[in-house]
């Protein structure tokens, strides 16, 4: 996901979006992930599941963590040159993608169906456009 967001960096900037990745781990892990995979992103780490739970993310069930879809998406990512990385913290926590407005409110949420499910950059940009249209009316 980080590499995908890095690839969309120019489009996100043009849309006035500031991309922030939050992961479990220690601050020293930021360089390992963002520094190498997505240097233009702001990356934050937390050693507990608290940020995940705050945003309504939960632990995945077996089918969300290990399924044919997860394997297929992993193989597709590997063929595109993306590699998996060491996971820190609770490996069962599900991912999500959020657009948070200037007041700190969740304006749009994408709760992943499994650990390999992430919205495309196009979906994120379209959601940002919809959020802007709602807030400007």
Q: Cα–Cα distance between 59 and 53 in angstroms, integer? A: 9
pTM exceeds 0.85 for this model: no
Render pLDDT for 4-16 as a digit per residue (tens, 0 to 9).
899 999 999 999 8
Number of Cβ within 10 Å of residue 97's Cβ equals: 20
**Contact call for residues 98 and 106 (beta carbons, < 8 A):** yes
- Above 70 in pLDDT, residue 24? yes
Q: Candidates 3.40.50, 3.90.1010, 1.10.238, 3.40.30; correct CATH number of 2-128?
A: 3.40.30
Smallest CA-to-CA distance from 43 within 68, 70, 24 is with 24
Q: What percent of the chain has pLDDT over 70?
A: 91
- The domains of the chain are located at 2-128
Round the average pLDDT of the chain to a whole number and report it: 86
Q: Cα–Cα distance between 117 and 64 in angstroms, integer? A: 9
Token readout for 18 is 């500031």
């Amino acid at each position: 996901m980080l590499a995908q967001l890095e690839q969309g960096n120019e489009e996100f900037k043009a849309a006035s979006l500031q991309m922030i990745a939050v992961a479990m781990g220690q601050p020293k892990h930021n360089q390992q992930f963002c520094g190498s995979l997505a240097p233009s992103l702001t990356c934050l780490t937390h050693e507990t599941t608290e940020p995940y739970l705050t945003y309504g993310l939960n632990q995945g069930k077996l089918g969300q963590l290990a399924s044919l879809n997860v394997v297929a998406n992993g193989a597709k990512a590997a063929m595109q040159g993306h590699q998996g990385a060491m996971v820190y913290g609770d490996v069962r926590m599900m991912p999500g993608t959020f657009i948070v407005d200037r007041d700190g409110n969740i304006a749009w949420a994408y709760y992943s169906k499994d650990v390999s499910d992430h919205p495309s950059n196009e979906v994120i940009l379209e959601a940002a456009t919809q959020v802007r249209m709602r807030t400007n009316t």
